[in-house]
Structure 1
Amino acid sequence: MQMTLPETGFLRLPQIIGNPDAIPPVPPLIPVKKSCWWAGVKTGRFPKPVKLGPRVTVWRVEDIRALIARA
């Protein structure tokens, strides 16, 4: 099952790397583990996040689309 991405907006980490424990399970757009994702953000391999609040971190849909297109 492929997730349909909106043209603009934000995605949270489980929407990007997936969450098999969710009901219904969320398939990954980028199939990596959480630690690998954050290491990639730190090195610049993956896009930088946007902080919406002290406990809310998101990524721009446009940045994730560009990442998928590069792969």
Structure 2
Amino acid sequence: MSGPVKRSVSIAGHATSITLEPIFWDALVRAAGEEGLPLNALVARIDVERIEQDDLPNLASAIRVWLFRRALREG
């Protein structure tokens, strides 16, 4: 298992860095493909959902939770 990987993505026209473990990057890329979205668009959608929450988690945490909930729905 390798450590976290930092990547830059564009959200609403500005670049932001996200650090996730490779397994989460793989799951995120797969989810974007299954949803027919570019990776940046899926991350932007997750970010909008994150901002709407009362307890504002950081974006990397929001992505992990989103992926976990998606896996539960599919399972």
Q: TM-score range by the shorter chain?
A: 0.3 to 0.5
Higher relative contact order (CA 8 A, sep 6+): 1
TM-score, length of structure 2 as denominator length: 0.33
TM-score, length of structure 1 as denominator length: 0.35
